[in-house]
Amino acid sequence: MNELATLDLSNLPSTQVGSDAAFETLTEGGDFLGYIKLCNSDKYVKKEKIKNGHFGIPKTKEEVIDLGPSIDVLPLARRPKALDLSDTSAIVTSYDETSDVFKDIVERSSQKDSGCQWGTSFLVLERSTGRFLELYFGTVSCRPEAKNVFPALPLTKSDIDRKANAGADVSDLEPHGPFPVTVKAGWKENKKGGWYSPVVTKCSTAIKPPASDVVVKQIIKFLTVKNDGAEKVTDTRKERAR
C-alpha cells in the first residue's frame, strides 16, 4: 500500500506558487485568446458537455468550461471585428472596418449559411475564472446589445480628446476606469424558431483586476492588429455565440 495514501495531508501549507487562473493559462495551447461562447444547440450541447443557453469557454473540440446562464465581466477594450468561418481550415479575421476584406465579409454575412459575422469584439476579465477573454457580438441579433457594454469601458483622457476632435460634446465626460456588467442569456423568437442571445445589464458587485501592468499588456496585445488589419489563421473552432 502507498504510505502517502494513509497520511492526513489536509493541513499542509499551500502547495503552489501563483494563482489558479495562472495555471489555467499555462495549460492552454497556442497563442489564441480564449473566448466566451453562448451555446445554442451546438455540438457541446448535443454531446451534453454544457446546457443550452449557458455561456462557455471552449477548450477543445470536446471540452468546454460551463459558466452558467449568466456571467459577470469587466470590459477593458473594444475593436471592430469581421469573421469569415466559411472555410474552417483557414479562418479570415479583419479588424479594420475600412478594409476591403472587412467590407466583403459584411456584405456576404446577409447570405444564408455564409459563415460570416461582424460586430464589436471586447476584451473582458471574467469574474469566476479570473481570465482575460474575448466577448464577441457578431451576429444580427446580438450586435445592438454591444452598445450597452460601451459605457462600461474605461474612458481615458486620450479617448475624450478623440471624441472632441470628432466634434462630440465632451463637456460632461471625465476619465474613469471600467465598470463591471452582467451578461445573461435571453430568449428570442421569430417565425423560424427561437435561440438564446446575450442581454447586458448593470452589475453591482465590483470585479478586482490584476496589477495594472498585466492589464495594460493584455489590452495592447488585444488591440495590436496584424497584416494591415486582417489575419488568416488555422482554427477549427467554428461555433460562436449568435
Does residue 11 belong to any structural domain of this protein? no
CA angle (84 as vertex; 55, 190 as ends), nearest 5: 55
Distance, C-alpha 75 to centroid of its chain: 9
Q: How far apart are CA 50 and CA 57, in angstroms?
A: 10
242 within some domain: no
pLDDT of residue 242: 39
- Residue keyed to cell 478623440: 162
> Looking at residue 13, what is its pLDDT?
67
pLDDT of residue 30: 54
Q: Report if residue 9 sits inside a domain.
A: no
Helix (H) or strand (E) holding 181: strand 181-190
Average pLDDT, whole number, for the chain?
Answer: 85
17 in a domain, yes or no? no
Structural domain span for residue 140: 30-233
pLDDT top residue among 227 and 220: 220
CA distances from 138 to 107, 120, 216 (A): 14, 7, 25
Per-residue model confidence (pLDDT) at position 45 = 83
H or E segment to which residue 64 belongs: strand 64-68
Chain CA centroid to CA 85, Å = 17
Q: How many domains does the chain have?
A: 1
Task: For 43-69, write each residue's pLDDT tens digit.
Answer: 888 888 899 999 999 988 889 999 999
The sign of the CA dihedral 205, 210, 216, 221 is: negative
Mean pLDDT of 99-104: 94
Residue 33 has a pLDDT of 85
Report yes or no on 211 lying in a domain. yes
| Residue 238 within any structural domain of the chain | no
pLDDT level of residue 22 (50, 70, 90 thresholds): low
Grid cell in block for residue 206: 465590483
pLDDT digits over 114-162, tens only? 999 999 999 999 999 999 999 999 999 999 999 999 999 999 999 999 9
Amino acid residing at 230: A
- Kindly state whether residue 18 falls inside one of the protein's structural domains: no
